[in-house]
Structure formats: structure tokens, C-alpha cells
Amino acid sequence: MSIPAVALRGLCVLPKMAINFDVVRERSKEAVQAAMLSDQKIFLVTQRSDDIEVPEQKDIYEIGVIANIKQMVKLPGGQLRVLAIGRKAARVTSMDTTGKYILVDVEEIETGIPEDTDEVTREAMLRVMMDELKLYLQNNKEMGKEIIRGLKQIKDIEELMGIAPIHMPFSLEEKQQILETIDFSERYALIMQLLTRENEVRRIRADLQTKVRARVDKNQKEYVLREQMKVIREELGDDPLSDADMLEEKINALNAEEPVKEHLSKELSRYRMMNGAAAEAAVQRNYLDTMLSLPWNNETEDREDLQVAKQILDRDHYGLEKVKERVLEYLAVRSVTGKGDATILCLVGPPGTGKTSIAKSIAESLNKKYVRICLGGVRDEAEIRGHRRTYIGSMPGRFVNALTQAGVNNPVMLLDELDKLGSDYKGDPSSALLEVLDGEQNSQFRDHYVEVPVDLSNVLFIATANDAHGIPAPLLDRLEMIEVNSYTENEKLHIANDFLIGKQMKKNGLKEGALSISTGALKKIIHHYTREAGVRNLERKIGDICRKAVKEQIDKGRKSTRVTEQNLEKYLGREKIFFDPVNEEDQIGVVRGLAWTAVGGDTLEIEAVTMPGNGKIQLTGKMGEVMKESAQIALSYARTLSDEYGLEDGYFETHDIHLHIPEGAVPKDGPSAGITMTTAIASVLSGKPVKANLAMTGEVTLTGRVLMIGGLKEKLLAAGMAGITNVLVPEKNKPDVDEMSAEITKGLNITYVSSMDQVLEAALMK
């Protein structure tokens, strides 16, 4: 059958469906007029896309509807309004678009119920679909009563399947799917599926509307009651805005997650019920104030300019190149990933080397808030996790307080003196710190006082310590250690000139040019008035000079003061510190060792003598347990040299050995004096003097192997200050020496040793 066709945009016509549509395109108008001039039959088919003006066969669906045009009205502008009723579904077999209108060949499709379907099946299908329709009609009062009455009066399943989709709010695609489903059973299943889904959507929508309405009613009721309470307070002359009302406004304005706000609202409700004069009310009020002062979601935006960070670090610190490089690497990773990795930087070094100020510079370079938590002497776990909110005087832990102090949730938080943590019967603070410093856990940090999770994952933690050995092993595993070593004399000189003098002059009210300190005077201050790894005491001495200069200028009316090497004693008094000079002559049993202390390096002169006795070894000089063990090992190794030194049998049973380290009142300990003690004992046993201009450091084993040691930079600096030129260093410490600047090793003849044979050969005179 050939028939004129109209391609519909955004419409799908079903059999038995009456539809009004406007015709705009010329080809469609021609098709309608051609149909009106013949038998008023027209084929209505849906376009796949609305954007196509001249559709081809591939642009329309395969199945449409043969319809009868009941009415055609011409509208202003040349449009046609057509009333048509769908009659029969048909499939397009061919399509001709060469004429004035679209002409298609179609074949009708039989979609009726199979003849072999029994009456029971028909009735069952009818009742099931009617039940779903009735449920839909009950919840859909906007449908016309005539439509509802007509649907309920249908008694044939085939008729109901034709009428129901017409009045249901199915989408165009769903209606087209129904039209293209030829098999009666499949079409029935599809209609039932769509109808059931529509009823479920309606049910869920009704539930949601009921819940929203109930919530609105509750809020409206609360609003009315609150307004009444305000009127009552005004009548009584009370403040119309109560304390609880102000807290409620703050909670509503709080920049926090909904669970936090809900928790605070519950706590506020409890506060409203309390007697204002009761102690519990004060505890509750303090809790609400603490929670409202936390930053929650408030944060600052990081600055990611590494050049600015480098300029700030160079501006605030001289030297420390490796430390600066590692910090810049850390900041570079943060700028790329948005967050640093879980590793926490820990700056380890002697006092006064600038560890705390490095953390301040990192905060400034990132444009972050800076807050410091001092952990020295903290023994109570509640200092970390807070006190439970069960008594008056309870308070949150230091980390929650630090966040409150910073005002943002992503500050730089300095954990100062991490190695000074203690522990007692109240708990172990270092164990509580494990959660704080774990990047996988601290996003849900639980403070006993706050009770809700606090996110610490945005905090940039930086720790400082003087000695890594004082940090508990599990906590040490969370940290990346960065050594901040002692400054050389030259570095101290630059720091004094570039930073300390100007800082102290400003602090003591001296204008530029009012004070000058010569290079020789600074060197003398560094060498003979301060003995430290950092520059803290050096700054104090410069401050002393500044204060005396101010007093002198006021008393004598001077405009400027110049401090030189010659008049330095006038301002600082006599020299306070003297380094043991190099021994003038080679001596038997006297060996110079190198030691690391908390304030830098030092030289220790170890003395040994033998005397008739009964084979004892006597140790003096207030040695620690480690040094005592080293002395025992040294003696045992020396006894293996009996034959080499020609000692008679039974020598060690008839002689005592006494080892002494001068300055006995000063405690001494550390695993680096083994080869020094062994050399001293070997010297007295062999009668060979030890070279005077020689110092050594290293630990020894029973078999004579020399083990590597730490703190080598400080030890070499101490050797240089004492005027020693020859130093024995363990072979395994050679990489450490290679990394040192030439300023440290300048003037030192370093010999690497791996066994005691090499040590004795280099140390003892032939």
C-alpha cells in the first residue's frame, strides 16, 4: 500500500490514539493535502532526530501508524493544524522522497491476541493490568473522570492494551518501543513493566512529599514557638536573644559537615534543658564554645611558587644546603600532588642550629598559618588525646587547641622537642602520637573531649629533635630524618654578619652604623667565648656587646662604637673557653680522641698506665656504660697482642691497667672511643709513644675490626679547632667525608682505617 507520510518530531502516535499536531514543513503540508484529496488516510511515523529537516528512510523509525485525518484547519502563517486518529500499525517497506511529499509503501501489522488464547488467560491478563491501572488512577487525580470511567469499563484485554498506553505518561521512546513490539505477550509484559515502574515512582514521590511536608510542618511549629518565646521574654524585660539562641545562630553559620552540626544541635538541646546556675551547664557551655571555635572546613590556599620558597629559605638561613634542598623537594611534591606523602619531616640536630626557624620559613613560603606544639616533658596521654568530658576542668588535647589557635585546618604544625617526650602511669604520649602522624588514620582523629572525628590530614607536620635516639622506635618509623648539623666557624661568621648583628642592633635600639664589630673580634667570640654547634650563645654575646654599646654611647655621648679584637675583653670580659692544644711531644699511653656532644664536637685526651697488681682494669672519668664496655673490649683485644709486644706469660695477672679521661666530673658516653682506648693500652704495653699531632674516632670489635661512627662533621670541626692535622677515621665513614665541604676538611690529613693493625701502625711511633 502506497500512502502519503508525515515524519513527526517529538511525537509518537499509537493505534486508537487521537492527536492534534501542527504541520510546518512544506513536504508535510503537501502530504496532508494529498491525503485529504483521496481517502484521508496518512502514515504518521516518528523521526529519530528532531534536527533533520528532510528525512530519509534511515532517519525515521521502521514502524508507524496509518491514521485517518478527521479535521484540517489552516492557521495564520501558513501552518496546518491536523486532527488525526491512529488506526493500524504498519511497517515501512520503501520510501520515495523525490516528489512534493513523502510517499511510503507500508504493510499492515497484526498485533492482536492469538486466537488460541483461552478465556481464562485473557481474564487473568485483564485483571492483572486493571489492578495496576486502578492503583495508578487512585494516585493520579488529575486525569479526567471520563477517562477514568472509560478505562474501568473496558472488559477486553486487547482493547485495554490499546487504550492504556495512550493515557499513561510514557516517554516517546517507551511508546515507540510498545509500537514496535509485535508479539502480543511481549507487548503485554512491556506495558506491565512500564506501568509497574510508574506506580513505584508515584509511590516514592508521595513518600518524599510526605516527609518534606512533615519536616516543614515541624520547622514551622518550632518557628512559631520560638517567636512566642521571644514575645514572652520581651514582656518580662529579658534579653530577646538568649545565650542558647546566639549559639544556635553560630551553629547554623558554622562551616562544617552536617554530622558535626547535628551533633552540636543535640548538645545545644541538652544545654537548653540545663539550669544555668548548675556546674554541668558551665561544662556544656565550654564544650560548645570549643567546638564552635574549631576551624573545621576553613583553610588557606597554598602558595606553590618554589622560587619564593627558595628565596625565603636563603633569606632566613645561611648554609644548610642539604636541608634546604630536601625541603624544596618536599614542597615540590606538595605543589604537584596537592598533599604531601604520609612521611613527616623531622629536623634532628644540636640546639641553636635553626630547626624551629626552618619550620617558620616553610610556613611562610607556603603562605600557611604556623603553630608550635612543645612536647618536651609531656607525660600525660590526655595532653595528646584530650580529657573525657565528664568533669569540670576537662579540656581538649594540644592538637585540637593548636587548630583553634591557627584558625584553619591546614596549618604548619611544629612538634618541638619530640625526643623529650616522657611516659608514666597516666599513659604513653608517644603511642597517642602514632595516630596523629599516620596519614592513613589522622583524617579521623578522635579527641576524647571533642568526641567527633577531627581531620588532621591537611596539616603539614614538622618535628624537631636534638637526638634521634630519644624518639621511640614506632614513632621514628613515621618520620623522615633530616640532619641539621653543626655550623663551621666560617658559617657562624657569615651568620653573625648577615643576620645576628643587625637583629640584635634593632632589638637593642641601635641605628644602622651605630655599632661595628670587626671580623677578628667575631672570630675571637666564636672561638673563645662560645662553645656550641649552633649560634644561640653567639647571638647572646652579640646582644651583650649591643647593650654595653648603648650604655657607653649614652654615658659618653658617642655616636658609634667599634669593637675589635683588641678591645673585645672590655665588652665581654676575659676569654671563657680554651681548646686543649696539640701535645708538644709524643707520649706513651696518651691518645687524643674525638667525641660528639649535644653542643657540637670535642676532643678527649685518654690516658692509660700500667702498674703491679692482680689483673684489674680501673676506669675513671665518669664513663657511661657504653664506654665501659668499649674499655673491656679494648683490654681483651690488647691481650691478644702479648706475643707481638714480647710480654711475659702471666703479665695481665700481675699488672693492673688504669684508663682515665680528664675532666672527670663531666659525664661521657658513646660508641666511638673504642680504638682510642685500645691504642692507649697498646701504647703502654708496647712502650711505644703515640704521635702527638694525631686524633682518632671509631669503635672496635674483639677481632680488631673498626666500625663506623656518627657525628663525624662535629668531630672533625673539633679536631681543626684544637689544631690537630692528622685524623684517623673508620673506612666505612669515607662517604660521609666525601659529602663534606672543603671548609671542614681543610688542613686535615685524614687516614681511613678498617682494622686495629692499621690504627696502631698509624698511631704508634716506630
Q: Which residues are catalytic?
A: 672, 715
Quote the CA–CA distance of 591 and 661 in Å, as a whole number: 10
- Yes or no: say if 520 and 565 are a contact pair by the CB < 8 Å rule: yes
Beta bridge partners of 105: 2, 94
Q: Quick one: cell of 421?
A: 617526650
Q: Let me know the angle formed at the C-alpha of 536 by 530 and 537, rounded to the nearest 5 degrees.
A: 30
Beta bridge partners of 711: none
Quote the CA–CA distance of 196 and 203 in Å, as a whole number: 11
Residue 707, SS3? strand
In the 8-state DSSP scheme, what is residue 496?
I
Quote the CA–CA distance of 177 and 320 in Å, as a whole number: 75
Q: How many CB atoms lie within 10 A of CB 522?
A: 24
Quote the CA–CA distance of 527 and 575 in Å, as a whole number: 9
Quote the CA–CA distance of 247 and 746 in Å, as a whole number: 68
- Yes or no: say if 565 and 517 are a contact pair by the CB < 8 Å rule: no
Beta bridge partners of 103: 4, 96
**Residue of 549, 601, 588, 554 lying closest to 716 (CA atoms):** 601
Q: Quick one: cell of 576?
A: 671563657
Beta bridge partners of 344: 479
Q: Quick one: cell of 385?
A: 588525646
CA atoms within 13 A on the CB side of 399: 30
* DSSP symbols for 50-106: TT-SS--GGGB-SEEEEEEEEEEEE-TTS-EEEEEEEEEEEEEEEEE-SSSSEEEEE
Beta bridge partners of 561: 515
What percent of the residues of the chain are helix, what percent strand, and what percent coil, each to the nearest 5?
A: 45, 20, 35
Q: Quick one: cell of 193?
A: 513493566
Q: Name residues whose C-beta falls within 8 Å of residue 54's C-beta, 6 or more positions apart in sequence.
A: 27, 97
Beta bridge partners of 415: 373, 463
- Yes or no: say if 386 and 448 are a contact pair by the CB < 8 Å rule: yes
Number of residues that this document lists for the chain: 766
- Yes or no: say if 46 and 141 are a contact pair by the CB < 8 Å rule: no
As a whole number of Å, the CA-based R_g of the chain is 47
Quote the CA–CA distance of 677 and 183 in Å, as a whole number: 104
Quote the CA–CA distance of 466 and 182 in Å, as a whole number: 85
